[in-house]
């Protein structure tokens, strides 16, 4: 099982790693020199060249452009140097379960946030109130340290649609295989890795599993980056010592910076004011509610009826990748509170709005001779075989066997056979020959041509009589939401195939404003 993460969108680090022992290659990293404070700072901090692209992604995201407002221009900030003693004192005062020690690596990571990425920090300070209450609740329910919430900043910069080059997605940056392993649905329409609630509970399960292995939260955090296999390998190489800072030299270089960045985020999100960092003002919905949807809906339907921006729907429900909520099972839909109440009252109206236009995929393609055609019962007479019955009604012998559960072509005299006959959507010809006078009449079904059958010829002739040149026509202008099915329902006795034949059209290719021929009533 492999888990890869890209931290490009966070403006701090992008590391692609495997849960067991596999790393992706080819990442280009910038090296930042470190001050030797504690004697452990011999390596450079590894951050991705895609750092700038990640920052651009954050600042140009929809939620930032629409729901944040800078409180001031980036002007004065404290320039006096802060001593190591001050950093150590501030970190020691944080009420945490996870150890947050200080050294030169941690200091450099802090500096990268408070100096090089001040704008990013201010935006995340403004956005955290939207996500952290939900994350804190999940962590609390699972008995996990509250400070683990800050991994979402290291992972995705609080961007639920963040997607790495390695295929990791969501606030917690799960790759496809790990998301599946932790019970998240991932398909063409839904990606629950992007669901803040679902992915947070999956991350909680991961933390609990790893803590059962290592019994140390710093090692759990390291494993979240490089995988448990690589942490265990580092422990073996260090002689069995289970101390992150002791196994530090044996960890992958990317992972050596991961825990320091986590410590730096804990510091910055608590002491931002001391660095003259100002949270952006947000106008995100002050209150939201979740409703349960039991049918397929499109965001266009919800947006139009409830008067809510489609982009906001996407932001509140990032797990629906193509603006469609599948109706195969009950699914959550997060809405601003007022719209949530309105949705409950207007759900039927929403479901009917532009439904034929927005959902054009066919849910059923009728099998030839299937149940949409006319059903008759034929009792086998003396001298009749399955072949003669099939020929008489213009159906295949294989269909006759399937409809009646027959394993061979033998059929006993007097047996009642169920037959589905395509009759062009109208009554079977009443002027049947005397040889067929005992056969029952049949009605209404979609039509298609049959060959090599006298019965089929009679059906076709009757069809021409009813919908042919003698039928009076009128023009009809196609409107939004129209289909041959919906139009045919306006004219009793006619099917959608009748209307298509009148217009010499073989598929449902109607366009708004187009004129077609329909029966005159």
Instruction: Determine the Cα–Cα distance for residues 330 and 325; give it in Å rounded to an integer.
Output: 10
- pTM > 0.85: no
pLDDT at 476 (0 to 100): 85
pLDDT at 28 (0 to 100): 33
Interaxial angle between packed helices 84-92 and 258-271, expressed in degrees from 0 to 180 and rounded to the nearest 10: 80
Equal fold, 8-282 vs 473-519: no
pLDDT at 452 (0 to 100): 34
Render pLDDT for 403-427 as a digit per residue (tens, 0 to 9).
888 888 888 888 888 887 654 332 2
Contact indicator for 280, 125 with CB cutoff of 8 Å:
yes
Instruction: Determine the Cα–Cα distance for residues 258 and 228; give it in Å rounded to an integer.
Output: 14
Options 128, 155, 192, 254, the catalytic residue: 155
Residues 6+ apart with CB under 8 A from 287: 336, 337
User: What CATH class does 374-467 carry?
Assistant: alpha beta
Task: List beta partners, residue 32.
Answer: 45
> b/e string for 190-200 if b means 16 or more Cβ within 10 A?
bbbbbbbbbbb
Contact indicator for 210, 228 with CB cutoff of 8 Å:
yes
Q: What is the maximal distance between C-alpha atoms in the chain? A: 109
Q: How many CA atoms lie within 13 A of 441 on its CB side?
A: 10
Residues 6+ apart with CB under 8 A from 23: 16, 17, 226, 252
Question: What string of DSSP letters covers 243-283?
Answer: -HHHHGGGS-HHHHTHHHHHHHHHHHHHHGGGGT--PPEE-
> b/e string for 255-276 if b means 16 or more Cβ within 10 A?
bbbbbbbbbbbbbbbbbbeebe
Q: Which residues of the chain have pLDDT under 70?
A: 1-44, 46-79, 362-374, 394, 421-472, 506-508, 521
Task: List beta partners, residue 370.
Answer: none
User: What CATH class does 8-282 carry?
Assistant: mainly alpha
Q: How many CA atoms lie within 13 A of 165 on its CB side?
A: 16
Question: What string of DSSP letters covers 52-112?
Answer: HHHHHHHHTSHHHHHHEE-SS-S-----SPPPHHHHHHHHHTS--SS-----HHHHHHHHI
**Shortest CA distance to 294 belongs to which of 322, 320, 324, 331?**
331
Nearest-10 Cα torsion for 211, 217, 220, 222: -170
pLDDT at 62 (0 to 100): 56
pLDDT at 7 (0 to 100): 33
Contact indicator for 425, 498 with CB cutoff of 8 Å:
yes
**Shortest CA distance to 441 belongs to which of 377, 512, 510, 356?**
377
Question: In whole angstroms, how far apart are CA 173 and each of 160, 183, 331, 410, 504?
Answer: 9, 15, 22, 63, 53
CA angle 265, 271, 272 (to 5 degrees): 80
Domain ranges (residues) in the chain: 8-282, 288-358, 374-467, 473-519
Render pLDDT for 5-21 as a digit per residue (tens, 0 to 9).
333 333 333 333 333 33
Three-class secondary structure of residue 379 per DSSP: strand
Catalytic annotation present for 155? yes
The CATH number fitting domain 473-519, selected from 3.10.350.10, 3.40.1260.10, 3.40.640.10, 3.40.50.620: 3.10.350.10
């Amino acid at each position: 099982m492999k888990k890869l993460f890209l931290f490009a969108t966070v403006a701090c680090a992008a590391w692609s790693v495997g849960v067991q022992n596999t790393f992706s290659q080819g990442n280009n990293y910038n090296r930042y020199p470190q001050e030797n404070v504690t004697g452990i700072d011999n390596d450079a901090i590894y951050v991705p060249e895609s750092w700038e692209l990640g920052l651009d992604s954050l600042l140009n995201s929809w939620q930032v452009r629409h729901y944040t407002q800078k409180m001031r221009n980036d002007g004065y900030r404290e320039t006096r140097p802060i001593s190591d003693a001050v950093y150590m004192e501030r970190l020691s005062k944080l009420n945490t379960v996870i150890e947050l020690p200080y050294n030169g690596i941690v200091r450099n990571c802090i500096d990268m946030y408070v100096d090089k990425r001040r704008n990013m920090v201010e935006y995340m300070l403004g956005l955290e109130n939207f996500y952290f209450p939900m994350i804190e609740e999940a962590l609390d329910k699972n008995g996990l340290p509250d400070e683990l919430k800050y991994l979402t900043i290291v992972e995705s910069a609080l961007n639920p649609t963040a997607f790495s080059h390695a295929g990791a997605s969501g606030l917690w940056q799960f790759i496809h295989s790990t998301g599946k392993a932790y019970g998240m649905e991932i398909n063409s329409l839904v990606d629950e890795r992007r669901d803040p609630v679902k992915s947070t509970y999956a991350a909680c399960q991961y933390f609990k599993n790893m803590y059962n292995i290592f019994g140390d939260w710093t090692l759990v955090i390291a494993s979240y980056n490089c995988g448990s296999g690589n942490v265990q390998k580092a422990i073996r190489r260090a002689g069995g010592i289970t101390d992150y800072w002791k196994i530090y030299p044996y960890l992958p270089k990317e992972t050596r910076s991961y825990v320091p960045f986590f410590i730096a985020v804990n510091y910055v999100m608590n002491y931002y004011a001391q660095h003259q960092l100002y949270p952006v003002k947000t106008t995100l919905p002050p209150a939201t509610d979740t409703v349960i949807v039991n049918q397929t809906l499109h965001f266009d339907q919800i947006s139009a009826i409830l008067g809510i921006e489609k982009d906001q729907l996407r932001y509140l429900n990032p797990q629906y990748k193509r603006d469609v909520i599948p109706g195969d099972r009950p699914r959550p839909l997060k809405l601003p509170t007022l719209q949530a109440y309105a949705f409950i009252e207007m759900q039927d109206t929403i479901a009917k709005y532009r439904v034929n236009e927005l959902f054009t995929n066919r849910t059923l393609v009728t099998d030839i001779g299937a149940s949409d055609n006319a059903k008759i019962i034929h009792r086998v007479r003396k001298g009749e075989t399955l072949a003669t019955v099939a020929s008489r009604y213009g159906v295949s012998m294989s269909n006759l066997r399937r409809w009646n559960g027959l394993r061979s072509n033998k059929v006993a005299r007097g047996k009642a056979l169920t037959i589905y006959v395509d009759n062009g959507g109208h009554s079977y010809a009443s002027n049947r020959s005397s040889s067929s006078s005992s056969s029952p009449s049949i009605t209404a079904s979609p039509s298609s041509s049959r060959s090599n059958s006298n019965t089929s010829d009679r059906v076709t002739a009757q069809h021409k009589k009813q919908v042919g040149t003698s039928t009076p026509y009128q023009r009809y202008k196609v409107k939004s939401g129209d289909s041959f099915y919906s139009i045919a329902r306006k004219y009793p006795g006619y099917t959608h195939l009748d209307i298509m034949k009148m217009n010499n059209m073989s598929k449902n290719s109607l366009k708004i404003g187009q004129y077609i021929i329909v029966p005159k009533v």
